[in-house]
Each structure stands twice: as structure tokens, then as C-alpha cells.
Amino acid sequence: MTRRRLFLLLPFLTATFCASVVAAQAQFPIMDKIADKVIQKYQQSSCQQLRAQRGQPRSPEVQRAIQLLQNDPQMRTAFINRVAAPIANKMFECGMIP
């Protein structure tokens, strides 16, 4: 593909990606709230708090959210796409992943 073609295609690809993100958010309002809570937890927790929470039993609310995501592959994909970067960044900062 030539540079010119790629340059002309780039705005279309960007618009398509943005539209898919907006559609996923509109399609799964419950997932949106769950993702916001997860992201907020990671952003507001210290590294010590995150380490202490690993392996702890999950609350009934968290178990319900996990069940919801397990039962809906599309919602799960949208959720993971939304929370992956903030979680990975925090875990990297805390030395929990290489």
C-alpha cells in the first residue's frame, strides 16, 4: 500500500475505531459502570493495597459482575478493551508485572 493510500485511509480507520468504542459504551451501560469502578480502584489504590487484595475472597458484587462478563463474550471483550491499559500500567508501576 502506498503512503498516499495509507494517508487517505487513516481518517476512515480512526473514525471507525472511535465509532466502535462509542457503540460498545452505548451497548453495555452496566459494563461501563463496572469498568469505571475497576479503573477507579486501580488508580486510587496504592501498590501495597493492591498486593494485599490479591488472593482475597471476592465480594458478592464482584462475583456477580464476573458472572455477567463470563456469560456475555461481547461485553467481556468490551470490558477488557476498556480496563486493560489502566490495570497493566498500574501493575507495571507497582512491579507486579515485568
pTM value > 0.75:
no
Instruction: Please give the angle made by the CA atoms of 68, 73 and 74, to the nearest 5 degrees.
Output: 105
Q: Cβ(83)–Cβ(91) under 8 Å?
A: no
| Domain boundaries, given as residue ranges, for the chain | 29-93
Q: What is the pLDDT of residue 6?
A: 45
Q: Return the percentage of the chain with pLDDT > 90, whole number.
A: 66
Give me the DSSP letters along the chain: --HHHHHHHHHHHHHHHHHHHHHHHHH-HHHHHHHHHHHHHHHHS-HHHHHHHTTPPPPHHHHHHHHHHHH-HHHHHHHHHHHHHHHHHHHHHTTS--
Q: Does residue 54 have a pLDDT over 80?
A: yes
Residue 3 corresponds to which cell in the numbers above?
503512503
What is the mean pLDDT of the segment spanning 49-64? 92
